[in-house]
Amino acid sequence: MTRQERSERTRRGLIQAAAEAFDANGFVRTRLSEISAGAGVSPGALHFHFENKAAVADAVERVARARLRCAARAALNQERGALQSLMDLSHAVAVLLTDDVVVRAGVRLNDDSDRPSGHDLHKDWQDLVEALLLRAAEEGTLDTEVPTRCLTLVLVAACTGLEALGRSNPVWLSRSSVTTLWTLLLPRMVGPSALHAVDPAGRDGVIRSAVPFPA
Amino acid sequence: MTRQERSERTRRGLIQAAAEAFDANGFVRTRLSEISAGAGVSPGALHFHFENKAAVADAVERVARARLRCAARAALNQERGALQSLMDLSHAVAVLLTDDVVVRAGVRLNDDSDRPSGHDLHKDWQDLVEALLLRAAEEGTLDTEVPTRCLTLVLVAACTGLEALGRSNPVWLSRSSVTTLWTLLLPRMVGPSALHAVDPAGRDGVIRSAVPFPA
């Protein structure tokens, strides 16, 4: 292993240990000494990679955002229609939030008012939901008198709620909970004939391909 | 004014100042000196009423819970059916979260993992939603093939999401947002004939009577 590979491995270990600490204790209460101890490295090694706690948190959030973007790309690439892509993606995000501590900590850090972040992941999600619903309308799948703006509002609120409630009880982020959400909303989004063409439980293959990071 | 009245007024002022500080900065970052300064009293006066920061936070959460319970009683007393009561109450809670800093701070403190609370307000809300839906089914208003358990899940998730998103942007808690939620869900909850008998925008009088605390 070259020095650069070792350094990269240490950095990844620090990000993982930081995510575990931030996820458990939040930004304010996490200490740098816990992070270096969690990664099994000296405080000096941590400071070689990160200037301070804010820099570590930025790195965790950046990795979380990259993994969420990667999941979005995988789900959207499948060309089975925008509405099915959106459902698959919502399941994939729920799996990431449940199984991947870096994604979970990144989302939590993004929400943490103790730590200003340049990004707003809720706004990213809202924009994506709205774009996919508009595309589904163009494709002719979305067949409803309900305006896209209203569907977006309810979907974003419900998904945000599942994430918030899932922090203390993972059952809110289970496959069954996310499927229940879609099963309830779909008849308000598509006509009766199109209902059979979509799968509110998501497609296994797509969800798996959107979640490439083992816990 | 008697000494007891003065003492009671000081205590109320401390709870209000504490709510403002907790709402702005969270539990960990709020200092007792900010709270006494915000209430215009000495640190000694604060310590006469509250042993420490956790005790002030407990008091804020207790008052918030009492106001939410009071709103629930007002909405449920109106005998216009359980489903309309639930819609009215959701609007009243959104007004309280928007206008009443003690309620907002109490809910935020209840969610704060830095501060263990004996209560779970989300669970209280979930139990209330489920009980009202079951009552609406008994009354014959709820007419749907969707199980009450699934309706409860989606309603609790969506309301929790509106609250979470409303922390950084109050538009999520506006009358219009809450009305959109109900307008979208109602056709999955009641038959077409019953749709005209309920008002997803809530009844003004009930919402006002459930929100007796001016901002």
Contact list, A165 vs chain B (CB under 8 Å):
122, 156-157, 160
Taking only the tens of pLDDT, chain A with its 215 residues reads: 898 999 999 999 999 999 999 999 989 889 999 999 999 999 999 999 999 999 999 999 999 999 999 999 988 877 789 999 999 999 999 999 999 999 999 999 998 877 777 789 999 999 999 999 999 999 999 988 899 999 999 999 999 999 999 998 999 999 999 999 999 999 999 988 888 889 999 998 888 887 765 54
Cβ atoms within 10 Å, residue B66: 13
DSSP label of B186 = G
| Protein fold of A62-210 | Tetracycline Repressor; domain 2 (1.10.357)
Chain A and chain B share a number of CB contacts under 8 A equal to 102
Contact list, B184 vs chain A (CB under 8 Å):
146, 150-151, 154, 185, 188
Give the model's confidence band at B91: pLDDT under 50 very low, under 70 low, under 90 confident, else very high.
very high
Residue of chain A whose alpha carbon sits nearest to that of B123? A165
**What pLDDT sits at residue A213?**
59
Residue of chain A whose alpha carbon sits nearest to that of B146? A184
Give the model's confidence band at B208: pLDDT under 50 very low, under 70 low, under 90 confident, else very high.
confident
- In chain B, at which residue ranges do the beta strands (DSSP E only) sit? none
Proportion of chain B above pLDDT 70, given as a percent: 98
Question: CB distance from A26 to chain B under 8 Å?
Answer: yes
Query: Going by C-beta distance under 8 Å and a sequence separation of 6 or more, which residues neighbour residue B151?
Result: A184, B133, B142, B144, B185, B188, B189
**What pLDDT sits at residue A143?**
80
B positions 70-109 inside 8 Å of A (CB) = none
Give the model's confidence band at B165: pLDDT under 50 very low, under 70 low, under 90 confident, else very high.
very high
Give the model's confidence band at B102: pLDDT under 50 very low, under 70 low, under 90 confident, else very high.
very high
CB contact under 8 A, B184 and A185: yes
Q: How far is B205 from chain A (nearest CA, A)?
A: 26
Residue-wise pLDDT tens digits, B8-54:
999 999 999 999 999 999 898 899 999 999 999 999 999 999 999 99
Q: How far is B147 from chain A (nearest CA, A)?
A: 10
Is the pLDDT reported for residue B215 higher than 60? no
Question: CB distance from B160 to chain A under 8 Å?
Answer: yes
CB contact under 8 A, A113 and B177: no
Q: How far is A145 from chain B (nearest CA, A)?
A: 10
Question: CB distance from B26 to chain A under 8 Å?
Answer: yes
Question: CB distance from B188 to chain A under 8 Å?
Answer: yes
| Protein fold of B3-210 | Tetracycline Repressor; domain 2 (1.10.357)
The domain ranges of chain A are 62-210
Contact list, A53 vs chain B (CB under 8 Å):
none
Q: Is B140 left (phi over 0), alpha (psi -120 to 50) or beta?
A: left
> Diameter of chain A by CA atoms?
63
ipTM score for this prediction = 0.93
Contact list, A142 vs chain B (CB under 8 Å):
none
Nearest to B12 by CA among B210, B212, B213: B213
**What pLDDT sits at residue A215?**
44
Query: Going by C-beta distance under 8 Å and a sequence separation of 6 or more, which residues neighbour residue B168?
Result: A113, A120, A122
Question: CB distance from B154 to chain A under 8 Å?
Answer: yes
Cβ atoms within 10 Å, residue A174: 17
Contact list, A26 vs chain B (CB under 8 Å):
28, 113-114
How far apart are alpha carbons B88 and B5 in whole angstroms?
A: 35
